[in-house]
Structure 1
Amino acid sequence: MKIRCIAIDDEPWALTLIEKYVKQLPQLELVATFEDAIAGSEFLRKYPVDLLFLDINMPDMNGITLASSLINKPFIVFTTAYKKFAYEGFELEAIDYLLKPFDLDRFQKAVDKVEKAMLAAKLSQKSNDASIFVWSEHQQVKVILSEIMFIESRKDYTCFHLYNKPKLLTLLPLKKTEELLPSQEFVRVHRSYIVPVKEIRKIASRKVVLQSGEELPIGRLYADNVSALVKL
């Protein structure tokens, strides 16, 4: 799938350079170029793209203002001759910052970052939609994986602690529950607890602290599982 992009820069030579580099990278499709920031901004509001190469120091509207005004932001790579603007650029969560004049190798590295970010976004969306079914109160109940805060073993039951929903009890043992979950997204931290990796805010001495503030113990037999997370 092509990465649809546009370039906005008041310097014609910079646009020509970007056009040249885009032609050498088959994954990119340059939809349009603009020397006028306002015209480029209006285009983006009508025709969303995946990637924006954006100069910062421009007349009428600078790149920082333009990027801040966008509602549905594409991935942004700032291009400028002024290193002092880098901090402001990254404050806006730009994916990269190219200092003019940049060569093809540096341009390629920026595009590589965009590709990785797009893949991560797709995987995240897929993860958000993922679910499992468990038996609860004589019926199969769908559990959205992204809604799980943590999972707890309670004697004869397994309890799903969910965001903005009542706790869900199932007779499925915790070990069987663990087998249903994607191993790269969930980790067993204790004989009684499984937590989503994304919910771990920090790992303290013998415990994990979740985004919710909940603190769960790390079992001795599961310490290696948690240690592996630190090395990721």
Structure 2
Amino acid sequence: MKIKCIAIDDEPLALRLISGYISRFPFLELVGTFENAMAGAEFLKHNPVDLLFIDILMPDVMGTELVRSLKNKPMVIFATAHKNFAYESYELAAMDYLLKPIDLKRFTKAVEKAQDYYKYKNGLDNETEGESLFVYAEYRMVKINLRDVEYIESMEAYIKIHTIESKPVITLMPLKKVLEKLPDKSFKQIHRSYVVNIQKIRSIQNRRVQLTVAELPVSDTYIESLRNALNK
């Protein structure tokens, strides 16, 4: 498996650093570097790639605007010296947002995340289908192992994913949308505000579900389907 990538940055030293880092990872194939953003954009029109490393503040065009203009968007990792574009990178569904000077450890985390997502999207993941979910949180793509999820809480336009050991992950996604991505055999809606991992249910009593950590209400609308799922 090779992930084809290019790097666009008006700073030659930054380009050399990113190119050197890329060469350390056998699964990455660098097919081009560009100091001129418009030249990079022209290359992308005729040469689709899997992953784009790109600066944001460049003299000819903003990196965010270049990404927004692409018809076939690759995975994107922004590399910039400026913190104030993080939210815009989130809106563009960037894999990650790296602040310069970029150290190898942080770069490694970003490209390994891109590798995981590439496998996930192309059906190359060794995990059984339906065992993981990718969401955008904290300005980067986050992989959630579904076996670790206890329940998902609706917060209007957002959801909060509660896991057993780590802190909750908050992402911009309605509860209905995440339900479409979850395996029905393992996750059930029990309330307009909650979806639970039925593997984490310890008991049901008085219209309340006791999970490993939390206790949640069950509405009349969902109690029967929940009992049927547990009896299978």
Gaps in structure 2 of 5+ consecutive residues: 130-181, 196-215
Q: Which of 184, 206, 218 is the aligned partner of 1:206? A: 218
Deviates most, 216-225 or 38-47: 216-225
> Following the alignment from structure 2 to structure 1, what is the Cα–Cα distance between the partners of residues 226 and 17?
57
| Equivalent of 1:220 in 203, 206, 227 | 227
In structure 1, the residue matched to 2:16 is 16
Corresponding residue for residue 93 of structure 1? 93
C-alpha deviation, 1:186, in angstroms:
3.2
Q: Which runs of 5+ in 1 are unaligned?
A: 128-183, 190-194, 209-214, 226-232
After superposition, the Cα gap between the structure-2 partners of 1:216 and 1:40, relative to the gap in structure 1 and judged at 3 Å, is: same
Secondary structure, aligned partner of 2:5:
strand
> What is the CA–CA distance in structure 2 between the aligned matches of 1:85 and 1:188, rounded to whole Å?
37
Larger radius of gyration: 1
- The equivalent of 1:57 in structure 2 is 57
1:18 partner SS: helix
Instruction: After the TM superposition, list the runs of 4 or more consecutive aligned residues in structure 1 that deviate by more than 2 angstroms.
Output: 200-208, 215-225
TM-score relative to the length of structure 2 = 0.59
Q: What is the distance in 2 between the residues matched to 1:201 and 1:75?
A: 32
* Distance change (3 Å), C-alpha of 1:186 and 1:49: same
In 2: Cα distance, 1:61 partner to 1:121 partner: 30
Superposed CA RMSD in Å reads 3.3
Give the aligned length.
156
Aligned counterpart, 2:38: 38
Partner SS for 2:54 = strand
DSSP 3-state at the match of 2:90: helix
Cα distance change, pair 19–222 in 1 and its aligned pair in 2 (3 A): same
Once the two structures are TM-superposed, the CA of residue 201 in structure 1 deviates from its matched residue by 8.7
Q: CA deviation at 1:71?
A: 0.5
Amino-acid identity (%)? 48
Tell me the CA shift for residue 50 of structure 1: 0.3
CA distance in 2, matches of 1:50, 1:219: 41
CA 35–121 in structure 1, closer or farther in 2 if over 3 Å, else same: same
Q: Cα deviation per residue 1:81-138 (whole Å; 9 max; x = unaligned)?
A: 00111111111100100100111111110001101111221239x97xxxxxxxxxxx
TM-score of the superposition, structure 1-length normalised? 0.59
Secondary structure (helix, strand or coil) at the match of 2:78 reads strand
